[in-house]
Amino acid sequence: MTLATQILRPTSAQQTNERRMPLLKTERLTLRAPCRSDIAAIVRFAGDRRVAQSTARIPHPYGAGDAEQFIASANREDGSVTFAIVFDGALIGICGIDPRQDGLELGYWLGAPYWGRGYATEAVRAVIDHAFGELGLQMLQSGARVSNPASRRVLEKCGFQWTGVGLYRIRAINSSAPVDRFRLDRGLWASLKAWGQVRQVA
């Protein structure tokens, strides 16, 4: 996989708070900062209960106001990196890194029509490469509900190692559920990284 990195210029309304974000290119996908034109697609996909209940923080139901709030807060907090996953010019999901009390957490979701085609693995690998390569991070953690073996496989294919199971609050079901926990450190990433070289072109 080859990644091309460019810098997106924020609009004048965003310049005061939003950081400059890279543009990542993989074989089939583009990862860029989410924007207001993504709202309809985000509502369509994140509003699907199957998607929402597979994440910790997406509420259900999910409406335009939720998407607007997400767009307004994306890439504003120090340590957070949020990418729209774009295929054939259209948003199909979100992938990013958020600071948590116990470390940096990689999270992602993909619209249900795009499940089972390897897009999640491709996007997650791009964000991992960016995190360890460009940002110089030392460790990432992530999780997948025990009822979501497909998400677990994505993490395993990206080199994450299972560390245990914990109970976590899932907003979409308004309850806690068991979640498999994983971690990936920089050394393991460097030794396993066989999915391609990162190339910064701008």
Domain ranges of the chain: 3-200
Mean pLDDT throughout 32-59? 97
% of residues, the chain, pLDDT over 90 = 82
Is pLDDT of 14 > 70?
A: no
What is the C-alpha separation between 62 and 43, in angstroms, rounded? 6
Predicted local distance difference test score (pLDDT) of residue 192 = 86
Query: What CATH superfamily classification does 3-200 receive?
Result: Gcn5-related N-acetyltransferase (GNAT) (3.40.630.30)
Contact (Cβ atoms closer than 8 angstroms) between residue 177 and residue 167? yes
Residue 178 has pLDDT above 60, yes or no: yes
Q: According to the model, what pLDDT value does residue 11 have?
A: 41
| Mean pLDDT, rounded, for 163-183 | 97
- pLDDT over 50 at 32, yes or no: yes
For residue 199, pLDDT beyond 50: no
Q: What is the pLDDT of residue 44?
A: 98
pTM: 0.88
- For residues 21 and 97, give the distance between their C-alpha atoms in angstroms, rounded to a whole number: 13
